[in-house]
Chain A
Amino acid sequence: MKLTGAQIVWESLVREGVEVVFGISGGAVIHLYHALPDYPIHHVLMRHEQAAAHAADGYARATGKVGVCMATSGPGATNLVTGIATAYMDSSPVVAITGQVATPFIGKDAFQEVDITGITLPITKHNYLVTDINELAMTIKEAFYIARTGRPGPVLVDIAKDVQAANIEYEYPEEVNLPGYHPTLIGHQRQIKQAAQLINAAQSPLVIAGHGVMLAGAEAELRELMEKAQIPVVNTLLGLSTIPEAHPLCLGMGGMHGEAYANKALQEADLLVALGSRFDDRLTGAVETFAPQAKIIHVDVDPAEIGKNVRVDLPVVGDLKNILQALIPLIEPANHPAWISKIGAWRVESAQRDILEQETDALIPQYVVRHIWHATGGNAIMVSDVGQNQMWEAQYFPHHKPRGLISSGGLGTMGFALPAAIGAQMGKPEEMVWATIGDGGFQMNIQELATVVQEKLPLKMAILNNGFLGMVRQWQQLFFEGRYSGTPLLGPDFAKVAEAYGIPGFTVREKSQVVPVVVQVMATDGPALIDFIIEQEENVYPIVKPGGSIGDMVRRPQPEEVKEGDSR
């Protein structure tokens, strides 16, 4: 069967199980779009290519399948870059397909020509420029294989326009041949035995559960390990939802804005078992002072993560699910009562300091997030943006639903949440998806409200609107003499903007309105947006000073500690 290059792309995508592609058409992908209507693939026309990449990423994170985005050459391709980098930092399986100018024009600075394989070289797991139609089908096959296997990541395939138009006899390859790519899946038996010995000997062990647990689908194994040996678990931001936070052994998030008791546990543990976490600086704080008493076991599918950021006593490289399955039978049941009761006491102290325990009529964001949690029963897929809103979501929405939190952890990309939530909702049409976004991040991809309407998505959007680029403002308040430079932020009336797109919009100014409006929105079939006008200068606590040790947290000032004249 003779097919055009464009038909080969779609045919190959269908073979890879792709059902949805997020993209924007253009001159260098016009052949691809011409062929598209003949294939059973739903194309979501986004309003910006950055959003297309985030949507593909959100789709991938919600479903575990490869997300696909598409853009034309030049500016279309460069607009993808932030989204690709976001997916790369968070090991998200995305395939980005871009059009390139026709082969004879490459290198001539042709109209809308850009070297997108050069540009994306350091932010993709791998990338390809296809200038020969004979290589097209194999390239697509390899791109999907690389994106989804081992440590997942984005792969970009740049296809010259003349390749899309050419004809060839089509045959989809069954196998890939990648002599330099063999992800290690089975853990080293001796290292697994040593890990068991360390765990069995530990007095105050602690598991760090990262995003890798989710990527490996090892949630059940994680739970079995921690319950068998009664080991408390601290999550990274992206590791939240891998274990229900209501679980007595779950300490929630650690790190810069982690729970004080989680950070104390990290600092006092005698053994850390890091599962699919890369010891990001937002978790470790100053590495010299991180977990000073602990031996560290690091289990990761990527050997290059071992020893990259912290010293590791015992590495185990391979697929986390496989490794835990081999490890659990070697673990002796244990209780660690002294260790667990010590953590329990820290927990009580933290709970007493919780702002939700304090009497206030102010509309505080923590209250909003907690009541979205109540209203949804915690069963929504939460997509958070970046900054204060992201930390409040992580702290006050106790996740229990696997893959229930989608957020840009590594790159910290503002503007991520709305398009990523669109992707998540496309991938999980039956689920309730909530996006919690600051007024800053929302204005970075606000144009995607049109996509929400176009796709008739029942997405719920909560804007935590404090009129500031809030996290930076908080740093300025705490560490830069209160000089609010470049952080006060003007925004539109978001409810009216929503209405203009045909989305019901609500503005909430009073604490008493939070629950009724959230409940009303939950009962709405279609999309809805709530603009919560929150306390402007509310802060995220605890906070570890930049460059500081996670053992040295700045806690929320208690009412009696607030100094005279303090604006709080």
Chain B
Amino acid sequence: MNTLIAITGLGVLCLLFEILNFRKAIVPITIVGLLAILGLTYSEFNAPASYYNNMIVVSKFSSSFSALFVVLTIFLVALSHDFYEDHQTKISDFIAIKIFMLAGAVAMVSFGNLAMFFLGIEILSISLYILAASKRTNIKSNEAGMKYFLMGSFASGIILFGICLIYGAMGTFDIAEITDWSRSAELPSWFPIGISLVTIGMLFKIAAVPFHFWAPDVYEGSPALTTATMSTLVKVVAMATLYKLLTAMNADLSDAFINIIIVISIASMTVGNIMALKQTNVKRMLAFSGISHAGFMLMALLSISNSAGNLLYYASAYSLAGIAAFAVILYVCKNKENEDIANFNGLGKNNPLMAAVLTGTLLSMAGIPIFAGFFAKMVLFNQSIQAGYLVVVIAAVINSIISVGYYFKLILAMFGKEPNEEVQKTPFVFYAVAVVAILLNIALGLFPSVVLNLLG
């Protein structure tokens, strides 16, 4: 709870800085504030509690995921200063919106009541609509914002409808009570319908197949930093929330539901990967790769009772790699019209360090050892085989092989082609964020127990 209050306070503070004309210091101060909030989250880890009639429930699950979100936000805020170079007058707005978005994210994983869950998702989404359309003069950015808004509000509507049905069945919004009731033998038939609708809405947010059509356009059109936010932070927030919802709603998912999850998971991996093979725009490519990673993360739902640690690990590995990748992409495409793969030609010569970092992130996403991505996939495979879903694992393995095809397209461009222009100066933060994120990723890969056992 303290975390949530502190985050909101920090967001308001950011807006006040604008009035006080403190713009220069806004990024460092926000980062320091977020670090303090990280400490606060840590202190809450071992102190589960519930607040305001169970509106907010702080648990190990919520505080560890919140910590991940805070870390990701720190990186995103750090990148903001140079990204919004030309919009210095609006920087406080952008940063404040990001902080409010973080508040929404934390609310989404620590809700104890469906009303709070819906509030969280709306706070997060509305911040994102604004960020997606934040390049006002760019028509693509406008399109992205509009599309995301339409799709997102549609999804929110479906979620709301689902919540209504659940309320109709249970007579309460409180998660703990719903959990108790859902174990009783007689459930009205609209209770599973409600769960399905909420799940569908969340799958929209995660961009799992077949609810993924908005993702590539929105990712491509949005400003690169917003794309980074969507593909890392928002994706793992939505995934964690879905996990929490499903664990709370019904401890034992029915077979039919499991089968649907299997189909969606395999379809997301496959469609995402096959579409990614054809892309020449890096942002679009990462959008499709994100869809396939969503498919991988959905595997965690198959053995829902004990996979929280694995999901946290996968989410951390994926999002840290994503942040590092986007730091490099932001650097490479800083003064470019688009994000074509051709822009990466010869990066290995021009800037070996950045090229090495991007290579590392791609290898992590492809699941090559010592990077955290390997253990992330391995523990998911392990747990799915244990639960008896060998088919999903085989599909996942085949997809991992396909994914190498497009991840390596970038590596080939960086190391196999000649550079087409002069070296440009890199702002220090891009280096710092890229290197720190990939080092964290490698550290997770070397000591996976640190995260895996958090929620054990």
> Is the pairing of A and B real?
no
Residue positions of A touching B, CB distance < 8 A: none
Residue positions of B touching A, CB distance < 8 A: none
